[in-house]
């Protein structure tokens, strides 16, 4: 297979060395080829500095009348605006901060569960992380009927298969934007078109897609979306976005004296302010990738934060396609079974996350051998038991996953490939 010209790393305007220099963890000894980014990515120094700065200088409760407390309020307001730029939200009050994506999905499902009435059907998929399935299944107790949108034999969700599942009773479609296990991307704008035509809403799990490509809630035309900061080069925290008019009427838990308006009505209790400050810095880092590019048409500074983020995320996407190409070549030439999109002509349909198996080596042994050679990958069920079943893998042993992001390199892939092929040859 010849490499498409577009994917020649030399032609991709991306300075991986400069980027790696910003991430202290990538220079630690002993060296680690870090291919477990799907479980959480490393952070640039600027994120650490922002967390530190917050803790050292304004570690106080928000909402007070003294300067430090007002600084916390300002930091949270600025962070909401940063997230709004990252995901193209119309209004920063559509963004709520909290613990993680799972707890937001639970909050959302509890609220939706109180609105079922005659529309009581919830569509879930067998590709999703269990966080976006189990919480909806719980609504059966509230009278919900669960409708499964299943992958075809090619381990992809086909939007054509969703259409016949939607009826005048469909309340919501819950699906992922990109699979954390297989790396495949779902055409969520098409999902939203179908769901809205049926009068239903769409809740997206954007956790795995977020570090790899541009989020645009307006283009996705979704109704709710959840993300985790620690997958996007930030600390452990999460956020949820929802359409303002829907959040206004969402029946969430709140103490009586809290106004029934977003984001406060979604943020019961205190969240981790320093991590929100750190996440805002992570967005600043992604923005800097778009501001600092030099190219023919890019001499002018980006017109807005969003424009810088668009440029930064597009350059990540383009560079990551070179990583995906190389990973597929390396995995397939070692004789690995790659699940999901494995054709190098279809790189646009995936991110560089690879779920694979070696025919004669148990996943735990593959991971251990990789670890012995300084390569960090993962084995197990990937919190996706239903997907494992579809792949024919047992819950106990599961599969292997190598998940890359934009600070990974072709050289690292070749190191991984050498360990893999030595293992296959029994060396």
Ligand X SMILES: Cc1ncc(COP(=O)(O)O)c(C=O)c1O
Applying CB under 6 A, which residues contact ligand X?
Answer: 100-102, 129, 131-132, 176, 180, 205, 207-208, 228, 238
Using the minimum distance from each CB to ligand X, give the nearer residue, 231 or 342.
231
Using the minimum distance from each CB to ligand X, give the nearer residue, 86 or 308.
86
Rounded Cα gap, residues 323 and 19, in angstroms: 15
Using the minimum distance from each CB to ligand X, give the nearer residue, 132 or 155.
132
Query: Does residue 175 sit in helix, strand or coil?
Result: strand
Using the minimum distance from each CB to ligand X, give the nearer residue, 100 or 322.
100
Q: By the 8 A CB rule, do 391 and 340 touch?
A: no
Of the candidates 267, 254, 189, the one whose C-alpha atom is nearest the C-alpha of residue 223 is 189
Shortest Å distance, C-beta 372 to ligand X: 25
Q: By the 8 A CB rule, do 358 and 348 touch?
A: no
Using the minimum distance from each CB to ligand X, give the nearer residue, 171 or 180.
180
Rounded Cα gap, residues 268 and 98, in angstroms: 9
CA 109 remoteness from chain centre: 19
Rounded Cα gap, residues 392 and 122, in angstroms: 26
**CA 75, 73, 239, 377 torsion: positive or negative?**
positive
Shortest Å distance, C-beta 206 to ligand X: 8
Using the minimum distance from each CB to ligand X, give the nearer residue, 129 or 381.
129
Shortest Å distance, C-beta 176 to ligand X: 6
In the 8-state DSSP scheme, what is residue 302? P
Shortest Å distance, C-beta 306 to ligand X: 24
Burial class (CB in 10 A: 0-12, 13-18, 19+), 61: exposed
Shortest Å distance, C-beta 122 to ligand X: 17
CA 363 remoteness from chain centre: 24
Using the minimum distance from each CB to ligand X, give the nearer residue, 209 or 325.
209
Shortest Å distance, C-beta 124 to ligand X: 13
Shortest Å distance, C-beta 422 to ligand X: 30
What are the contacts of 109-113 at 24+ separation with CB within 8 A?
A: 109/135, 109/136, 109/138, 109/139, 110/252, 110/253, 111/250, 111/251, 111/252, 112/139, 112/171, 112/172, 112/203, 113/138, 113/139, 113/142, 113/144
Using the minimum distance from each CB to ligand X, give the nearer residue, 102 or 409.
102
CA dihedral 352, 202, 385, 169 (to 10 degrees): -150
Shortest Å distance, C-beta 227 to ligand X: 8
Helix (H) or strand (E) run with residue 114 in it:
none
Using the minimum distance from each CB to ligand X, give the nearer residue, 279 or 325.
279
Shortest Å distance, C-beta 209 to ligand X: 8
What are the contacts of 59-66 at 24+ separation with CB within 8 A?
A: 59/273, 59/274, 61/270, 62/273
């Amino acid at each position: 297979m010849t490499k498409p010209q577009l994917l020649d790393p030399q032609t991709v305007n991306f300075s991986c060395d400069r980027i790696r220099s910003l991430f202290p963890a990538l220079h630690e000894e002993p060296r680690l080829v870090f291919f477990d980014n799907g479980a959480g990515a490393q952070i640039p120094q600027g994120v650490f500095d922002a967390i530190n700065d917050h803790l050292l200088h304004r570690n106080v409760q928000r909402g007070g009348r003294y300067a430090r407390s007002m600084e916390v309020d300002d930091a949270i307001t600025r962070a909401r605006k940063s997230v709004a730029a990252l995901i193209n939200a119309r209004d920063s009050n559509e963004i709520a901060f909290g613990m993680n994506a799972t707890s937001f999905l639970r909050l959302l499902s509890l609220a939706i569960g109180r609105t079922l009435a005659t529309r009581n059907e919830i569509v879930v998929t067998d590709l999703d992380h269990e966080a976006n399935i189990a919480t909806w299944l719980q609504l059966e107790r509230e009278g919900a009927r669960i409708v499964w949108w299943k992958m075809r034999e090619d381990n992809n969700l086909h939007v054509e298969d969703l259409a016949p599942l939607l009826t005048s009773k469909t309340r919501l479609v819950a699906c992922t934007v990109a699979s954390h296990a297989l790396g495949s991307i779902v055409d969520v704008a098409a999902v939203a078109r179908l769901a809205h035509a049926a009068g239903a809403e769409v809740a997206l799990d954007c956790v795995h897609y977020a570090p790899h490509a541009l989020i645009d809630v307006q283009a996705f035309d979704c109704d709710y979306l959840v993300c985790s900061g620690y997958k996007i080069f930030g600390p452990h925290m999460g956020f949820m976005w929802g359409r303002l008019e829907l959040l206004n009427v969402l029946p969430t838990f709140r103490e009586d004296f809290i106004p029934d308006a977003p984001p406060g009505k979604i943020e019961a209790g205190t969240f981790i302010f320093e991590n929100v400050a750190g996440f805002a810095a992570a967005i600043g880092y992604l923005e800097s990738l778009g501001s600092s590019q030099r190219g023919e048409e890019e001499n002018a500074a980006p017109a807005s934060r969003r424009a810088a983020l668009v440029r930064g995320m597009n350059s990540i996407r383009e560079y990551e396609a070179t990583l995906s190409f190389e990973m597929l070549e390396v995995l397939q030439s070692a004789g690995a079974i790659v699940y999901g999109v494995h054709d190098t002509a279809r790189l646009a349909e995936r991110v560089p996350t690879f779920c694979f198996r070696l025919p004669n080596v148990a996943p735990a042994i593959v991971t251990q051998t990789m670890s012995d050679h300084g390569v960090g990958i993962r084995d197990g069920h990937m919190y996706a038991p239903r997907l494992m079943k579809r792949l024919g893998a047992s819950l106990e042993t599961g599969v292997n996953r190598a998940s890359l992001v934009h600070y990974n390199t072709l050289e690292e892939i070749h190191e991984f490939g050498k360990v893999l092929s030595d293992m296959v040859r029994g060396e």
